[in-house]
Structure 1
Amino acid sequence: MLAYVYKSLKKADTYVYLAGRDELARLPEPLRAQLGELRFVLEVALTPERRLAQEDPAVVRANLAARGFHIQFPPTVQDPMSDDWGTDA
């Protein structure tokens, strides 16, 4: 399965995977408005062997098959001060 990846120019580190090139009409209008302008960045074959840096390829393929799109939001950052550093006595 091929996926076409677009970067949101309005939302940092947010990407849209589409089942078809330039099929932006698949996105619901409220979502398109939030994402702003999208710029094409990558065409990728999502084979079962393919690994993605921040997404589960099986989930991406399932969303593309069901909806025609998948949204990759920025990773959440955990507050390092909430970690247990083992310094409490």
Structure 2
Amino acid sequence: MFCVIYRSPLRDQTYLYVEKKDDFSKVPDALLKGFGKPRLAMVLTLEGREKLANADINKVKQGLSEQGFYLQLPPPVENLLNLHLVADKKV
């Protein structure tokens, strides 16, 4: 299984995985509008891979087979002040 990965010009660390290059027919219009004009990042095969750098390969495969696309969102931003306060209370 091949996938084509596009990055969002509007949202940092947001990627859209589709099965075929420039085929966004299965991606909802509202999602594409918020994503911006997709910029090609890479093409890769999922066969023989056990993991991807920043996405769960099983979720990517499932999204591609069930929906025809997979949206990778950035990890949540950690609030360093809250982490410090919690750690400080433990001392």
Shorter chain as denominator, the TM-score bin is 0.7 to 0.9
Counterpart of 1:9 in structure 2 is: 9
Q: Which stretch of the first structure deviates more once superposed, 26-35 or 45-54?
A: 45-54
Match of 1:42 in 2: 42
| Partners of 1:24 and 1:11 in 2: CA distance | 18
Q: Is the 8 A contact 1:6 1:42 kept in 2?
A: yes
Identity of aligned residues (%): 26
Which ranges of structure 2 fall in alignment gaps of 5 or more residues? none
Counterpart of 1:63 in structure 2 is 63
Larger fraction in helix: 2
TM-score by length of 2: 0.86
Q: Which amino acid aligns with 2:31?
A: L
- C-alpha distance in 1, partners of 2:73/2:89? 34
Partner of 2:60: helix, strand, or coil?
helix
Question: Which residue is equivalent to 1:18?
Answer: 18
- Show structure 1 runs of 4+ deviating over 4 A: 86-89
Q: How far apart are the structure 2 equivalents of 1:62 and 1:25?
A: 17
Tell me the C-alpha RMSD between the 2 structures: 1.7
Partners in 2 of 1:47 and 1:28 — Cα distance? 26
Please list every run of 5 or more consecutive structure 1 residues that lacks an aligned counterpart in the other structure.
Answer: none
SS at match of 2:25: helix
What is the rounded CA distance, in whole Å, between the counterparts of 1:36 and 1:85 in structure 2? Answer: 39
What's the CA shift for 1:86? 4.9
Give the secondary structure class of the aligned counterpart of 2:58.
Answer: helix
TM-score between the two structures when normalised by the length of structure 1: 0.87
